Structure 1
């Protein structure tokens, strides 16, 4: 039996005449990608080759240069020994020393069985790997010992056994092979995009007798603590003894479905100049630099040469760098999802890589580049001229005259807050600007104010003609951002929240249609809220009616609120506002705000009588002007039982809260909106609260894209009628 060593799957043409045909590998299955083309067959690297079949040859100088490269890379070559009496071979790996002439010195990597080899075997040939081919020489032995072997190289070498794809050596890759609930362990020796060569170790595995070569296996490859590949394979070949088992596996999946199918797909763009992807290959530990063909915010494609391909579907690439220029790079964690031959290139392979995770600010920069490529007037988190922004807010009534008094009292603080938001680009905020000829025409902001939810606020110019296109362009940018970002854990983007006037026709057409198309309140929900502004001076004498009291909200109170809301609506408001009992620590986000120089506080109180909960009050407090609509400094009242709940109890509770917070007034939202009227509370207007589970974000993106397309068709000039050719007299007759 051959000593354990590296095996290689290679291709050799079948020639007529005296060419020796040796069947070493089993016949591949009908669907196997390892099946060779007609006129070729699979052979073992250690098989004796026929020197009379017209193989390529070359001078020894190239061979010496290759040997020195192998020495520089600390790699090995192979020596085949043939038994002097019997048809048996032994293969040994050796390390070549620096070589400058025909004298080649090598050191052994394994000396355990050298004595019987020297005694009973003769040197047959030396095989030197050269990318996807093998160089063969038949040297003379000058001397040999237990430490080294010295040989004299011939004047020429022969190129033999050219493989279809290159194989790559691996080190330190842990293997787990699972078959019929039995787990075998070992290491990965080498791989190509068509096969894995693994070695199972008996000391850490069950008996090899249980391996069924006709049954599929699952293979898991790990580098340290990272799982970098898992997939289903066929056993193509196996050799070995009781201690080790060398197996060649053929992967079956050449395209994977990383995420659930979506109706909407983000547009891939070809940038000029095209960036590069620099991938630290997890199996070899070496960098691979490939030109990016096209890309979106969720992935990109690259092109490889088929013979040198290294990317196989399912492979996770933890260290991937997108290189736009020498000093501008973005880093991400990716996974190869497909590998298909190029239609216009017989030797090219196109590989798709999805982005699994990325630093949130790096991803923002990527989307900003792609957004500019699509619409030069749209800017994502770009540096903003604050004078232009304030002028836009006042010109378009975003800062209402009745609320300016509060802004005026703290205008220096408000300016500092917005300076930090729009110039420092903290990871809790995103802004989209529509700007043309130096003038801001549209503005959309997103703020992460809850643990897993972002608030969406849209403002546009009051000019009636371009207003629709501005809003749609901004919404399209936001939809792309959400669509491309929600799957990243670092984005904390599970829910998207928006408030809009219940009479706003544009918002109804966009957000209402998304909710209808989602067809599930657990995918997208709309709840009606009554709104009014509570002024402390108007209710300073209010006291809680007898028997009513405010207490800190308990987990049991939240459970009651959750059950009430589920019965009343069945939507997503409780999850979006972190009001689900047993939710994660809500102070974590408040601490992040403090680290960034902002304030965010939340208080929960329950209004009760006779230990029966009547309402839950959620008080949000933040920096003045953090949100111009005061959505981050407001009180939300969730009335769970409106029976025998007097309006003075609500006003007295609000007055006490405003006094403790030292607020003269605060906006108030009441849910359900109809309960406000039933208990005698007067309110100014109603708002709709729209919440989207971002797993359904394709509906958001699809609807906005449809509205953009309709607007473009409506505003495009009518086509001129086609010119008709003159009718001949014969045709007229």
Structure 2
């Protein structure tokens, strides 16, 4: 056994053989099997006494240990006993035994050979002369010269409190990880002697799960390199079968990678051996990065998960993330390792995307503080706020200004992001997104105006697409669906979004539903519904009936994207998130019942005035599931009941299907399409469509 392995056999494991209360378990020391070291002394690096004393004091300072090599008096076997050095300022060192096994061994008068110090990569042999030895201490006269023998291709790191599950064809063993290198790790299985050991086929792949507490650090297929067994258990050296893993599905269009000078760096506390590691980044995108590390001191193993990494850019900006090593490629003396970002704080992700986007075009901005006069001037000049829309919002213009001041001057990345194209303090392109529902974000406020020959609209669209392509994978983002509304007849937006839905021909990947739109006058004088009619909060049964209708009518993504689940369908998580940022967002679903059967679903949305300039998040969305039974006067009475406590006088109402409005002569002013994309499954196909059909280079 190697010296570094000695550390892990001492603590008693829960799976050790039982013992009586009065009998202390004797754990034998490791045998020293490197008798050939003496042959390597001529080529070893020489270490003088002064350097050796510094090494010994460092071990004492870090509460580390060293090993003392003894020989058996009769069997010519070498053993290793762990000891801790005392402070040293002269040519003598005193060491304390840390193992209870030392006393009986020393009393048997094993013969002292040398001190051995291991750093995982090399062994420092100290052939000093013994001055004093008893059951508690050892004093050694230090030599003038010691020998540093490098004998490992890859440095090993001692692990602590790292546990492993070894599984193969229905058989499972538990153990601890003794040591780790970038290419292999050693697991110690403490068990009673069991015939099940023989069931482990060392020539076949073995599934290994490595944990620290309850956190998974590695899970994958490994191969057994070698194994040994003794009286206290089994030791297996395992290496990952693959040097490349597929964390995410392959995508034709990937997030653009950039190289920076000077290069950013990453730092992290290694989860296996609990030391700080720093590496230089080779290239980086908002979905992952590659790092360079020395071959002999590698610490990154394919499949390993790093719970927290800090990306440091230009010595000032720090961004934290969770990542997984997906490949390891050796190139002469260095190794290139690729890491995929698994999760990231939204603020950090926005900063990372901003750095990458600005490298390609310095006019790109993500949620940067903007001049509010410049923003409102842009909205009017670009025609985004047209006369009809302004007539609707002008009554509440002061509320709108307050909302936008909070949105654009206080960073709220968990609920809102905006992307601009700016030059010399003027805005030429704008697009934004808000967290509309629990698992859905809404793209809105897409506008542009000319800037020389630049297609500024496509520039901001490209920004948000790069952002979405990276962030949707993160659990913390809560992004399963992307949605947007656009007016029927808006040819450019219809080509971008509606064109893809028609091209895909898969409403479960991308759906397109048409709604009638009207402004409902809130008179706050609701009347009771006729007999057999009533409104209640949606139940699971109501949602089930609604899903039956919607699947027949559209088979799209609307019900899933709105997060309708029944029992009121109130999204408290979303409400709480907005409240933490000083905003209002409430969603609640009601059913209109006739003879106790649901015939329509009314989804009441409430938000700050101006969160969406068309107030599509501050009105009522209606799905009429049984149009034959719901006359408009009954439906409008139900709407009035739900608006009794609503502050606004004029409320946007959207009705689906649009044929209902035509049938009952509902005074619909216009029609809106609701476009919804399953971004995890069809997001990359949407990027391919845009790159092929528009002048947008996304790679």
Partner of 1:555: 540
Partner of 1:616: 601
Deviation at 1:118, TM superposition (A): 5.4
TM-score by length of 2: 0.88
Distance 1:659 1:97, change over 3 A: closer
2:198 and 2:569 map into 1 onto residues whose CA distance is 49
Distance 1:73 1:205, change over 3 A: farther
Q: What residue ranges of structure 2 are gaps of 5+ in the alignment?
A: 8-30
Partner of 1:716: none
2:286 pairs with 1:297: yes
2:89 and 2:549 map into 1 onto residues whose CA distance is 85
Deviation at 1:163, TM superposition (A): 1.0
2:583 pairs with 1:594: no
Partner of 2:627: 642
Partner of 1:729: none
Q: What residue ranges of structure 1 are gaps of 5+ in the alignment?
A: 9-42, 713-733
Partner of 1:27: none
1:662 and 1:552 map into 2 onto residues whose CA distance is 21
Out of 438, 446, 464, which is 1:459 matched to? 446
SS across alignment from 2:458: helix
**Deviates most, 670-679 or 404-413:** 404-413
Deviation at 1:639, TM superposition (A): 1.4
Out of 230, 234, 250, which is 1:241 matched to? 230
Partner of 2:19: none
**1:629-673 Cα distance to aligned partner (Å, 9 max, x none):** 111122222111222543333344445545552543222222112
2:481 pairs with 1:495: yes
2:560 and 2:2 map into 1 onto residues whose CA distance is 62
Partner of 1:632: 617
2:239 pairs with 1:250: yes
Deviation at 1:188, TM superposition (A): 1.8
2:441 pairs with 1:441: no
**Deviates most, 671-680 or 308-317:** 671-680
SS across alignment from 1:383: coil
Deviation at 1:304, TM superposition (A): 0.2
Cα RMSD between the aligned structures?
Answer: 3.0
Aligned length: 672
Distance 1:205 1:481, change over 3 A: farther
Asked if structure 2 preserves the Cα contact closer than 8 Å seen for 1:184 and 1:206, the reply is no
Out of 411, 415, 418, which is 2:397 matched to? 411
Partner of 2:16: none
Distance 1:583 1:698, change over 3 A: farther
SS across alignment from 1:86: coil
Query: What are the residue-to-residue correspondences of 1:684-699 with 2, within 5 Å?
Result: 684-695=669-680, 696-699=682-685
Partner of 2:369: 383
Distance 1:652 1:197, change over 3 A: closer
**1:86-117 Cα distance to aligned partner (Å, 9 max, x none):** 34222222223333444232222224254445
Deviation at 1:597, TM superposition (A): 2.1
Out of 112, 116, 119, which is 1:123 matched to? 112
Deviation at 1:45, TM superposition (A): 5.8
SS across alignment from 2:338: strand
Distance 1:45 1:116, change over 3 A: closer
Distance 1:113 1:3, change over 3 A: farther
**1:521-544 Cα distance to aligned partner (Å, 9 max, x none):** 21111112222333457x999996
1:268 and 1:3 map into 2 onto residues whose CA distance is 43
Asked if structure 2 preserves the Cα contact closer than 8 Å seen for 1:208 and 1:242, the reply is no
Partner of 1:572: 557
2:250 and 2:224 map into 1 onto residues whose CA distance is 31
**Deviates most, 418-427 or 145-154:** 145-154
**1:584-628 Cα distance to aligned partner (Å, 9 max, x none):** 751221232233222223343333333343322222222221211
Partner of 1:60: 48
SS across alignment from 1:55: coil
Query: What are the residue-to-residue correspondences of 1:195-274 with 2, within 5 Å?
Result: 195-202=184-191, 208=197, 210-274=199-263
**1:309-359 Cα distance to aligned partner (Å, 9 max, x none):** 1111111111211112455312122221111113xxx11011112221122
Deviation at 1:186, TM superposition (A): 2.5
Asked if structure 1 preserves the Cα contact closer than 8 Å seen for 2:564 and 2:589, the reply is no
**Deviates most, 172-181 or 398-407:** 398-407
SS across alignment from 2:628: coil
**Deviates most, 458-467 or 83-92:** 458-467
Distance 1:149 1:53, change over 3 A: closer
Asked if structure 2 preserves the Cα contact closer than 8 Å seen for 1:479 and 1:700, the reply is no
SS across alignment from 2:506: coil
TM-score by length of 1: 0.84
SS across alignment from 1:268: coil
Distance 1:83 1:653, change over 3 A: closer
Partner of 1:143: 132
Distance 1:250 1:236, change over 3 A: same
**1:679-721 Cα distance to aligned partner (Å, 9 max, x none):** 3334333222110112122223333444564689xxxxxxxxx
Distance 1:519 1:308, change over 3 A: farther
Distance 1:57 1:493, change over 3 A: closer
1:548 and 1:120 map into 2 onto residues whose CA distance is 97
Out of 406, 418, 431, which is 1:431 matched to? 418
1:609 and 1:640 map into 2 onto residues whose CA distance is 12
Distance 1:610 1:349, change over 3 A: same
2:64 pairs with 1:75: yes
Distance 1:175 1:653, change over 3 A: closer
